[in-house]
A and B are shown apart, each in its own frame.
Chain A
Amino acid sequence: MSIFEFFQALLQYEFLQKALFTSVVVGIICGIVGCFIILRGMALMGDAISHAVLPGVAISYMLGINFFFGAVLTGVLTAIGIGYVSQNSRIKHDMAIGIMFTSMFAVGIVIITMMKSSADLYHILFGNVLAVRMSDMWITLGIGLLVIGLVVLFYKELLVSTFDPTMAQSYGLPNKWIHYALMAVLTMVTVASLQTVGIVLVVAMLITPAATAYLLTNRLSVMIYLSAIIGVISSVFGLYFSFTYNLASGATIVLVSAFLFALAFFFSPSQGLVWKAHKSRKNRLELMEK
Chain B
Amino acid sequence: MTEATYTGALDLAAGAFLLTAVLIVWRRELSAIVRLLAWQGAALAVLPIIEGIYQREPAPIVVGVVVLLLRAVVLPILLARAVGTEDQERRESTPLVNTTASLLITAGLTVLAYAVTQPIIALDRSPTTRALPAVFAVILIAVFVMVSRRRALSQAVGFLMLDNSITATAFLITAGVPLIVELGASLDVLFAVFVLGLLTSHMRVAFGGTDLDQLRELRD
A binds B: no
Task: Spell out A's residues near B (CB within 8 Å).
Answer: none
Task: Spell out B's residues near A (CB within 8 Å).
Answer: none
